[in-house]
Every structure is written in C-alpha cells, then in structure tokens.
Structure 1
Amino acid sequence: MSGSTKSRGGLLRPEKGDAAHRVTFVELFFDLVFVFAVTQISHSLIEHQDALTLAQTLILIGAVWRVWVDTTWVTNWLDPEHSRVRGMLFVLMLLGVLMSSAIPEAFGDRALLFAGTMVTLQLGRSVFTALAFRRARPDNYRNYLRIIVWNLGTSVLWISGAFVPDETRLWVWLAAVIIDMAGPRLRFAVPGLGRSDVDSWNVSGEHMAERVSLFLIIVLGESILITGGSFADGNLGPLDALAFLAAFTSTVLMWLLYFNHGQEHGSDYISESSRPGVVARAAYTYIPILLVVGILLTAVADEIVLVHPLGGDEGPGLERWTAGLICGSSIVYLLGNLLFKHAVGLRWLKSHLAGAAALLVLALTFSSIAPLLLSWLANLILVAVVVSDHVSHRRRTRESVSPGAA
C-alpha cells in the first residue's frame, strides 16, 4: 500500500505513526462486553459439569471468539477514533451484550436470541467494513464481499439451528463454527469471486498482538474472579487456603507461559514479517482459541478444587472428570503455547511437549487422588515448563548477540 490513509479513505487508520498501531480506549471499552461473555460461559460449565455441557461450551467459545477476533481485524484497518467507526462499535457492543445474556440458555429457550444477535453483529460489521473499503482499498473491498457471502452461509446454520431440537442444535451449530473457522484458511473462496489474496491482509502486527494479549488478560481475569469469589464464600480453613494458593499459582503460571517471553517475541516477529496477514491468521486468529479454552477450563477446575479439595463420594466417574479438567486444561494451554511460539518463528519446544505428556500421565495414573494434591502436582509440571522456557529464551538471546559481540 502507498500514500496516506487520510487521503484515501476517512474511515481508515493512518498507515504511519503511533495511530497506526495504538489500541484505542473505545477498543478497550468494546472488550468489556467479552468480560461478560467469558463470565457467562465459565459459570454455565461450573453449574453443569458434564460432557454435553462441555461440548456446548466449546461451541459457544468458538462463536464468541470469532465475533471478537473478526472485530479486531476490522479495527486493525478502520480508525476507531472516527465517529462512524466508533458508532459501529457501540452498536456491536449492544448486540454483544444481548448475545452474551443469552449464553446460559443458548441451547435452550434463548437460542434464537443468541443466534440472531450474533448473525446481525457479524453481517452488520462486514457490510460496514466493505463499504468503508469500497473506494480506498479495492482488494480489501472484494475480500469483504467474500466474507459477507461466508457470513450469509453460516447465518443459515445459526438461525436454523435455533429452531431444531436441542440435541440437533449441537451438530448444526458445530457445523457453523467449523465453517466460520475454515473461512480464513480457505481464503474465503467464493465461486465467481475467487479467493482472497493474503498479501492484501496487511495488518499492523503490533496492534494485533496487543489486542489478542488483552483478550487473554480478560480470560485470566475471569479465573481470578472465580478463585477469589469461591475463596470468599468458603470456610477459610487450611484446605481452603491451600486450594486458593493452588488456583492462584496456576493462573500466574499460565500468565508466565505466554507473557514472560512469548508475547513480546510474537509482537516483534509479526511486526517485522513481510507477510503479517499470514502470521496473524495462524498466530492471532486460530491458535489463541486453544489458550482461551485452556484458561477457561482451568478456571472451572479451580472452582472444583476450591469447593471439593479432598474430592467427594460421587464415584470414579466424577474423579476422572475432575482429573481430566485439572490436567486437560493445562494440556490444552501448553499445546496452544507450543503452536503459538512455533507460528512466530521459534523451534518446536520440547519442554511444552514433555509437560503435556507428563500431565496426561498424571491424569491417567492418579485420577483417584485428592483434587487439591492433583492440582499442585499439575502446577509443579507447569513450573518445570516455565523454568525450561526461560532457560531456552536466555540461550536464544545469547546466541543472537554472540555474532555481534565477536
């Protein structure tokens, strides 16, 4: 791209200067809707701990993530400080609040409210963005025409799914999420309109990296809220204190795994890439959903540990469920970090693979031990991965500066 954005389209972000990369206050304001959405999702699984609710939760996470990340791509190109773009975000916020309010009953009586608001949000934003690009950036305009076609296709599934029985709705909406997720990978191919050119996805890497990081902070914040709320409602005895410390420690370890070194490296990598759109598609569109799922499932596992630190008398089925949540959530989060770090130019990290394998063995071998002890053992594995990651980072730093020093 060349020339000044202001001369080419008043709704577009400047291409140079701080404004090209800055995360604006209205974007942070927009994120508050997703604080509500994340709370609704996590509490639904806490209240109904079974495989069906877990499957429904994963579908809802996928839907909410697509809404948020698609909007992030838009605000990477459009200027949130422009009054019309800001107005669009306010409308999206309203729709997002309505959508989030329906989450607990999305597979029940409020299915149409959830699907209808989400479809309106997705289509409305895409149409607005296409019109903003129409004269200033023809390639992006055609890209959003394709996206609108994809939005229309999945809208049929979302809306029709709201009218079918609950059991069928799960499969219809799963298909909608899969198609939504496949769009960027297939470059929104549409007969007659062709495929999008990923080189036209010229995003600000710094902005994209910071936006995704802030969303992860939101999800980590939900984990803190659950931990603090459960501890405040507990008996405040020694076991409660140990469970609280285990939950808080797991949250800190998850923060360290992503933010200690990975976040900054990822931001630098995408900012320096000649094809930032390709990096953003993998590292900041697809992979973070694993991190989000890992954190949310960890929050649910922490709630179980806080309420039943020594387990209960419900039988081996619940023991396996609890062990699966405690260890499985950390496995998902580790694999998400592994894929993210590889997507931003690092080698496959053996420490992350070893940690995931150790957690799997822990879940399969020690599912019958007290949840509190299992939680601390899982934390010890994460500590080992964090330490190994830090050592690897220092080694890479020394290797990168040694040629210059010579």
Structure 2
Amino acid sequence: MSVQQTRNLLRTKDTQGHVGPVELLFDLVYVFTIIQLSHYVVAHLDVLGVAEAAVLFFAVWWGWNYTAWAMNWLNPFARGTQLLLAVLMLAALTMAIAIPEAFTERAWLFVTGYLVLQLVRSSFMVWAFRGQVMGRNYAHLLAWSAIAGVLWLVGLGFEGEARLALWALAVLIEYASPRFGFWLPGLGSTPMSSWPTTESHLAERNRLVFIIALGESILVLGGALLSEEFTFGVVAAAVVGFTTMFLLWWLYFDFRHGNAEHEYESDDVTAAARDAYAYAHALMVGGAILVAVGIEEVVHHPVGETSAWIAFTIVSGPIVYLLGNLIFQRALWRRTATSRLTGIAALLAVGVTSLWLPPLAVAVLVVAVMVALAAFDASSDRGVTTAAQNT
C-alpha cells in the first residue's frame, strides 16, 4: 500500500470493493453484541421482552449497516477512516455493554452509544464528500438520523411500554428514510441513482457478519454443554443444534437462493442492494440469532413439555431467516422461491404441533424441514450448472 493510498480518504479504483482489515476489526465488536442480544431474549421470554429485543436488534443492525455502506466509499487504508472506525467501534461497544439493561438503568448508555455511532459517522461523511453530490446525500441522511435521535432522547424520560413505543418509532423512522430517499421539506430527496454502490463490497460485508451471527450458535452450544451433564437428551440436542446451525449456513450460501458470488439481474443496483443488504439481511441475521436462542433452550430442556415460548425459540429463527431470504431474492432477481414459501409453511405446522412434543422432537422436525430445503437446493443447483455447461 503506497503512502498516497493511505492519504486518500475516499476509495479509488485500487481500493474499490476491497474489504479492509479495519472493517474486520469493527466486526469483532458485533461478536459481543450478538451474544448480548441472544442472552437478552433468553432472559426476557415474554411478549414485552421479545419486542424490546427486536427494537434493540434493529437499532444495532442499522448501526452496523450504515457503517458497512459508509465503508463502501471510504478508503479502509486511510488513517482518517481508521480513526473514524475506532470511534465507531467504541460507540458500538458502549451499546453492547448497555444491552442487558437497555430499557432500565443503562438506557442512557445505549442511546448515547447509538447516537454517537449514527451522528458521528454521517457527519464525517458530509465532511469527506464536501462539495459533492454524496455530501448532500449524507446531509439528508444525517437530518433523518437526528430526527430519530430526538425520539431516542425523549424515550429516556419514560419507562416501560411508553419508552418501547418511542424507541420503536425512532427505529421505524430510520428504516423508512431510505425508502423515501431521505426527503426533506424544501430540499427534496436523494434518488438512489445518486448513491453509486459497489455491490460486491456490500455482499462480502454481509456474508462476514452473517457468519459472525452463526458463530453465536457455536458459543451458545459450547457454553450450554459446559453447564449440563452429558445425558442422551443433552448430547442429542447438541447434535441437532449443531446440524441446525450448519444447515442455515448451507442455505445462506446456496448458489441460486443465497448470498453467493454470481451476477445479479436488477437494473437499479443501488436500490436492489438497499433492499437485499439493509432490509433482507436484517431478518436473515436476526434469524441466525434466534436459532442460537433455540439451540440453547433445547440443550437445557431437551425433554418434557414444550411451552409456547420454547416452541417460539425453536421455530422462529428459521422462519425469520427464510422471510429475509425471500426479500433478498425479490430484491436481486425479482423472483420468489416456492421452496422457501413451502419451508415457512412447514415450519409453521411444526410450531402448531410443538405443544404436544418434547423440545428435542420439535428441533428434529425443524432440522428435517431444513434438510429438505437443502436437498432441493442441491438438486436445483446441479440442474442450473448442467444447463449452463450445455449452453
């Protein structure tokens, strides 16, 4: 890397699409964050707790997502960029530390970390792109984040469901803003065509964070086994849990339906990338986190009755992942895989019958559905490969 390349704050042709080491370092914070989120769900298995965990996750995801997009344009080898990522890592770590008590004693800490993450990054981008169209774009984005930030701050003055409602509205504003082109009164919007995107960089960044989310299943599984006796039920639950994690990896990297390396067919690359990586991957990564929660519950409770909440933890992860995968496919290829719809229907059926089965049996049925999807994908991939070779 030349001295000049370390001085260029924005990417050049030499650094375009490259995932830099500082980006991987930033992701390490999210290893801890995902652990915190999964533990929050386990500790708050009721309607209010799951709703709170969802708001926390979507905030955490949006912080990571906007950082990944910013790094689509920032040179990862520039010292200024690296210093920015250091500040953002500290803010993300602050959020992670606050997660267990984000709706109680440490609410202020979570909000502080989130606002620093969102506002500092966008302000930096406005400065980095000063005098350019992207500078205007990021000024609009900064304004929307500031509007949402007001609701985050107001929420600190309330407790319980009122705080949850205000923070949920703040998250909704953040997620809706790209769909409205960051429109502002008197200033108009920023068309997606004015956000030049290197799609391969975003694809790689999302692949990496999805693997991090899957890693939580390994950590949860190992931790659960350390605290349990190796009975037949516990060992069987561990094998089923590991298989579930591996199958989710298999489905994610499927050639036809997953985030694999190949050409995309959308005309508007930036709009497609927005839907595929900002929105669809929120559900796909969230599904992976819920799978980790389900694995932990089954290892600790392999036999006995399956409560409604244990059934929820076992079945919801794959369902949420498949919903995200459907959005991903619609964004990039304008198609809907009937195999994913069938899989969701089958998993819902498993959820309905789960109250009459022990948790381990429910997990086995979920694995059976995922094996069927993986087998169907494998046969479809062979057909596509054969057809491509014949042409």
TM-score bracket for this pair, using the shorter chain length: over 0.9
SS of residue in 2 equivalent to 1:43: helix
- Counterpart position of 2:286: 293
- Counterpart position of 1:310: 303
Give TM-score, length-normalised by structure 1.
0.91
- Counterpart position of 2:307: 319
Q: Is the Cα–Cα contact under 8 Å of residues 55 and 168 in structure 2 kept in the other structure?
A: yes
Structure 1 residue 351, shift from structure 2 partner: 1.1
Partners of 1:233 and 1:101 in 2: CA distance = 24
Q: Which of 364, 370, 378 pairs up with 1:382?
A: 370
Amino acid at match of 1:166: G
Q: Is residue 2:331 matched to residue 1:335? A: no
Q: Which of 31, 37, 54 pairs up with 2:33?
A: 37
Structure 1 residue 331, shift from structure 2 partner: 1.2
Structure 1 residue 48, shift from structure 2 partner: 2.4
CA pair 301-337 structure 1, distance change in 2 beyond 3 A? same
Q: Is the Cα–Cα contact under 8 Å of residues 308 and 371 in structure 1 kept in the other structure?
A: yes
Partners of 2:160 and 2:204 in 1: CA distance = 38
Q: Which of 231, 234, 250 pairs up with 1:237?
A: 231
Which structure 2 residues correspond to residues 180-195 of structure 1 after superposition, within 5 A? 180-195=174-189
| Stretches of structure 1 lacking an aligned partner (at least 5 in a row) | 1-5, 313-317
SS of residue in 1 equivalent to 2:158: coil
Amino acid at match of 2:100: P
Q: Is the Cα–Cα contact under 8 Å of residues 203 and 259 in structure 2 kept in the other structure?
A: no
Which structure 2 residues correspond to residues 260-279 of structure 1 after superposition, within 5 A? 260-261=254-255, 267-270=261-264, 275-279=268-272
Partners of 2:147 and 2:284 in 1: CA distance = 28
Amino acid at match of 2:51: A
- Counterpart position of 1:163: 157
Task: Give the percent of matched residue pairs that are identical in Structure 1 and Structure 2.
Answer: 40
Amino acid at match of 2:158: V
Q: Deviations over 1:83-132 (max 9, x none)?
A: 01110110111111111110111100111111122112201110100110
Q: What is the total number of aligned residue pairs between the two structures? A: 387
- Counterpart position of 2:332: 344
Partners of 1:60 and 1:213 in 2: CA distance = 21
Q: Is residue 2:125 matched to residue 1:129? A: yes
Q: Is residue 2:53 matched to residue 1:57? A: yes
Partners of 1:68 and 1:212 in 2: CA distance = 10
Q: Which moved more, 1:319-328 or 1:81-90?
A: 319-328
SS of residue in 2 equivalent to 1:65: helix
CA pair 103-160 structure 1, distance change in 2 beyond 3 A? same
Q: Which of 81, 98, 105 pairs up with 1:102?
A: 98
Q: Is the Cα–Cα contact under 8 Å of residues 334 and 356 in structure 1 kept in the other structure?
A: yes
Q: Is the Cα–Cα contact under 8 Å of residues 220 and 292 in structure 2 kept in the other structure?
A: yes
- Counterpart position of 1:315: none
SS of residue in 2 equivalent to 1:269: coil
Amino acid at match of 1:59: V
Q: Is the Cα–Cα contact under 8 Å of residues 320 and 368 in structure 1 kept in the other structure?
A: no
Q: Is the Cα–Cα contact under 8 Å of residues 210 and 267 in structure 1 kept in the other structure?
A: no
Amino acid at match of 2:355: S
Q: Is the Cα–Cα contact under 8 Å of residues 355 and 385 in structure 1 kept in the other structure?
A: yes
Partners of 2:268 and 2:369 in 1: CA distance = 36
Q: Is the Cα–Cα contact under 8 Å of residues 207 and 259 in structure 2 kept in the other structure?
A: no
Q: Is the Cα–Cα contact under 8 Å of residues 201 and 276 in structure 1 kept in the other structure?
A: no
Give TM-score, length-normalised by structure 2.
0.95
- Counterpart position of 2:83: 87
SS of residue in 2 equivalent to 1:386: helix
Q: Which moved more, 1:320-329 or 1:296-305?
A: 320-329
Structure 1 residue 31, shift from structure 2 partner: 0.6
CA pair 383-33 structure 1, distance change in 2 beyond 3 A? same
SS of residue in 1 equivalent to 2:188: coil
